[in-house]
Every structure is written in C-alpha cells, then in structure tokens.
Chains A and B, each alone.
Chain A
Amino acid sequence: MMELVCPAGTPAALRAAVEAGAHAVYCGFADETNARNFPGLNFSRQEMAEAVAFAHARGAKVLVAINTFPRAGDQALWHRAVADAARAGADAVILADPGLLAFAAERHPGLRLHLSVQAAAANPDAINLYATAFGVRRVVLPRVLTVAEIAAINREVDVETEVFVFGGLCVMAEGRCSLSSWATGLSPNMNGVCSPASHVSYSDVQGQSEARLADWLIHRTAKGASVPYPTLCKGCFTSADGKGAVQTGHIFEDPVSLDATQLIPALQRAGVRALKIEGRQRSRAYVAQVVRAFRAAVEAAEAGAPMPESLLASLTEGQAATTGSYAKTWR
C-alpha cells in the first residue's frame, strides 16, 4: 500500500492524524528550521519526543521537517535540529539544503534522509545526485510535474518518490520562489513563512472585503464572500494582456487547493511510494477529516477499487479544488 504522510502542526494534530489512519506524520520544531514557522505552531523538543513515542506505539512513523535553508553564520540552529530529531527517535528528517544534508549524512549516518519539496529536485539527474552524494532515500517531488513526468522520473531513479495529493498548492519551483521575500522580506525558504501572518491584514472598505500583504492589495471580494489568504502567486492582478488592452484576474493561479484523489491509481502506476497531505498550519479537525478520507482512498487503490468521491471541498481555499500540474492544461 502507498504510504500516507500526514501533516501535524501541534501534538494534538499529530494524535488526530495517527488515530485517523496516518502511516507517517511530518512535523517540525518551533523555530525557523521548518517551512511552517507560523505563530502558535510546531513542537518543543519534549513534545517531539512524546509525539514520536505516541506514533511508534501505534505503528506510525514521524518525519521531522528541517527544510529551510540555514543562514550563513547561524548553521548551528539547523545542526541542533537534526541532532534533536535523531535523539527524539524520528524515523527520518526532511531536508532541502545540500550543506545540511552533508552534515546529517556525516554526523548521523543512521538517520534516514528525505529530500524536501523545498529542494525542487524535478528531474532524475538532480534526484540521483542527492541519492549518491548524501544517501537520500526518498524525494518529495515538486508540484510542477505531470503524472507522465513522475513516471519518467521513477524509471530512472532508485529512491522512493513522494507526491502531494491534497491541500494548499504551491505553484512555484519551491525553495526558489522569491515572491514572499519581495513583498515582506520573509520567505518560506529562509524564515519558514510564505506570506507571513504578521504582514497580512483583512479589512472592510466601502462594502467590500480586502486582503492585503504588506500593504499590497491582493484580493477584493464582496463583503461576506470568501476571502482567500493573500499570497502573491494566487493574487488577483491587473496586467497587460499582450493585445494592447488590460486584463484583471489570477495571473499565476486561482486561489484553489490541490485534490488528486482521483489520480491516486495513476500515481500508484507511476511508481509513487508515498502520498503527502499538506496542512501543518491547519487544525486537528482538518487533519482528522482529510487523513480519514485519504486512508480510505489508498486502501481502495490497493484493492483496485474505484476512488471514493472527494467530500473535502469545504476544507479547501476557494472552496474549490484542482489537480494542479498532474493533469496540466496551459492557458
């Protein structure tokens, strides 16, 4: 059966994920070493050790995401996170930075290494380099590939591949996107926050709801209508349309979320080992509901049964879902 890798931003969410049927849970420490460094989220060292014990007692794994890029002069923070994850009994660490991968491979040779989506390794040569140089055992593929491209990669690599199947959809080459840095000075790559909440504001202006990121107006909707979280890649912009006029719309991507439930059999045939659910910043209610639905889906795929109809649209941004790049049609 494909492994279901589920998010947990808090110990309560981790327990909810395990009880709902997660094979593995990924989480991070409460600092800049992980790419979901949001207020009130993440694990202390003691909470991490307790979470690992809880998961292992129920047959689930814990993968610790240390997937931001260490700042020059501050590498000790990231080195300590790797050591503490190993000490807590983590089943693997999810890393993106080559220097940190080298450190982990050298200092913690028994620790299983997964390559974070933040490394944006999107072709067999890049993946094989990480496998050969650092002993990486699994690669989380960026959300810019089609199913056919994933199958092509799996034919040429010896490591496991993991793909996102649900949740917030990053449409950029992850780890290389500078949109959040440009607008706020903070990024998921260095600080663990894309469009940080400290720079987000919502307000009602002349009967309409506005969402801003660092004073940039990103969305304006009718009052009472859904207001997406203001990320630049899913913002509404006015730009030249290339024909001498202007267009207003979601230039890069609509504010929708990924739901690849119906593609699970195809991903299985493509050789994917693990399916990942996004959402460490979400509540334990989200985690329980999504994990339960996807556990049923991977069991159905294993049995060769049809995929269950997804009932998760209400949990998604924009209240709508997409299959993203997996079945891409360019406009």
Chain B
Amino acid sequence: MLPQVPLPLLPPLLPLNLALSRLMRGIVARHPAILRRLGPHATARILLDVTDAPFPLLFEPARQRVSAHRRATLPTADAVIRGKLAAFLAMLHGGVDGDALFFSGALAISGDTAAVLALRNALDDAELDLSEELLALSGRAAPVLQPALALVARRTGLALSRQEGLA
C-alpha cells in the first residue's frame, strides 16, 4: 500500500491573482501611457481596500501585478485607498470625480499621497473600460461574457463600462 502523501494545498486566491495580473498586463500593454504618467511612483505598492468586497487588492504597477489578500494578512503598502466598490468603479470609468469622493468622505487615503494622486491621474487619462478589458482577455468566451457583464451592471447598478459623454 502506497503511503498517503498530503497534497499541497493550492492557495484559493492564486487563480484569482493570476487572472488579475493577466488583466493588469493587458491594460498596461494597451495603455502604455499609464506607466509613463506614474513615473517614479510606478514602483509604489498601493492597496485598494474595497470595503464591501471580500479581498483588498494590492496594485504593483511597475511589476504589472495585482493581487488579492485576506484582511487578516494584509501586505505592507506605501499607500492605502479605502472606499466602496461602486465608488472605485464610477471613478475608474469617469462617472464621478475622485476629489469629490474624497471631500465627501466616500474615499479615504493614507500613506504616500503623491503615489495615490499619480495613480488617479494616470488612470483618469487612460479612459479605461473594464468591460472592454475583460472582453479582450476572454478570447472566445467574449460572446458569453459580454451579455453577462451587461446583466451584472444592470442588476447591481455598478459602472462596469466607461461613461460616454460623462454625467
């Protein structure tokens, strides 16, 4: 009888992190100006603490990496931006102004303020569309993903696409 060898436990966040980093690499490849605008701040580690999501996200632009983390084991970061998912998505898609969210208390920041500003300005200029980026990544699954994303946006009210014409 063969001895039972315990299988290594695959960290459950690993597949998510691989997908997130692939998404990040795709965004940087399609929008190279993001890294140029970040300049020296590209090496900053910026934690997005999405308070109504299960996992905070650590952005490492220079390494083109995004990783999800459990709240119990948060990584060290140069700056932290804290807010709700709807606020982050609306800001990313040009629907609301980041400063206005900050002035109203809907977003809070700590740590390296210059790095946070650089990231905000670089992403605002990139005019990203998260749905477009996900569809570009999904290959042959795009025809299925597109209506699914639209359905999620309708059901949740989240801004999953760039706001054309702006509010």
Contact = CB atoms under 8 A, between A and B. Distances in A.
Interface of A: 9-13, 16, 19-20, 38-41, 196-198, 200-204, 209, 224-228, 281-286, 288-289, 314-319
Contacts of A209: 108
B113 A200 contact: yes
The range of chain B's interface size is 35 or more
Contact of B114 (A197, A203, A316, A318): A197
A13 B98 CA distance: 13
A60 to B, nearest CB: 17
A20 B166 CA distance: 9
Contacts of A12: 94, 124-127
Nearest to B37: A40
A40 B121 contact: yes
Name the prevailing secondary structure of the A interface residues: mixed
A226 B105 contact: yes
Interface string B26-48: 00000000000111010000000
B25 interface: no
B166 A13 contact: no
Interface of B: 37-39, 41, 91, 94-100, 102-105, 108-111, 113-122, 124-127, 163, 165-167
Nearest to B122: A40
B127 A39 contact: no
Contacts of B38: 40
Contacts of B111: 201
A314 B167 contact: no
Contacts of B122: 40
A284 B121 CA distance: 10
A38 B117 contact: yes
B121 A198 contact: no
Going nearest first, the 7 A-B pairs with the smallest beta carbon separation are A40-B121, A39-B118, A10-B125, A40-B118, A288-B166, A286-B97, A197-B114
Contacts of B99: 281-283, 286, 315, 317
A202 B96 CA distance: 22
B105 A225 contact: yes
A289 B124 contact: no
Contacts of A315: 97, 99-100
A285 B109 contact: no
Given A39-B115, A39-B118, A198-B113, A13 B97 contact: no
A197 B117 contact: yes
Contact of B167 (A227, A282, A289, A317): A289
A259 to B, nearest CB: 14
Contacts of B124: 10, 12-13, 283-284
B2 to A, nearest CB: 55
Contact of B166 (A282, A285, A318): A285
Nearest to A317: B103
Contacts of B166: 16, 20, 284-285, 288-289
Given A41-B121, A283-B124, A202 B97 contact: no
A175 to B, nearest CB: 24
Contacts of B117: 38-40, 197, 281
Contacts of B113: 197-198, 200-202
